[in-house]
Amino acid sequence: MRTRIERTVEVVDQLPLVSVLIPTYNRPRYFEKALCSVLEQTYSNIEIIVGDDSTNDETEKVLQKYLCNHSNIIYIKNRSTLGQFENALMLFNETNGEYVNFLMDDDIFHVNKIEKMMKYFLNDLDNE
């Protein structure tokens, strides 16, 4: 049903693992900017899972140049188009992280986004 390219995810400094899920569909240029915004994060323990629902291989071509240097990227190419909701659900089911964050392929994260988010969650002693 789908092709999966996976790298080993290393545990970094015992920080909770954050899964960043990027569903994408036929927007390789925007996707690359979104991906780079995750790779530039100040928080270090991140896995990136890409669900490629594209009808061509342009996103995969963009991603190939990052896979060799970033073992925390998991790439899943859907063999048939799932649609936005099913692609996002599939990604959610693939997570290994204690925390999950979606990033749409046409959005970007601020460089400290995940670090700030995790400081809040880790300091929330009341679990609200």
- What CATH code is carried by the domain that includes residue 89? 3.90.550.10
SS3 28: helix
Are 31 and 22 in contact, with CB atoms under 8 Å apart?
yes
The residue-averaged pLDDT of 54-60 equals: 96
User: How distant, in Å, are the alpha carbons of 24, 38, 39, 85, 95 from that of 46?
Assistant: 19, 9, 9, 23, 11
Note the pLDDT of residue 14: 85
Question: What percent of the chain clears pLDDT 90, i.e. is strictly above it?
Answer: 83
Comparison of pLDDT for 47 and 125, the residue scoring more: 47
Note the pLDDT of residue 80: 93
pTM (predicted TM-score):
0.86
**Rounded Cα distance, 75 and 96, in Å:** 14
Tell me, yes or no, whether 63 lies in a domain. yes
Number of domains the chain is built from: 1
pLDDT tens for each residue of 60-119: 999 999 999 999 999 999 999 999 999 999 999 999 999 999 999 999 999 999 999 999
Which structural domain range is residue 107 located in?
2-8+16-123
Tell me, yes or no, whether 128 lies in a domain. no
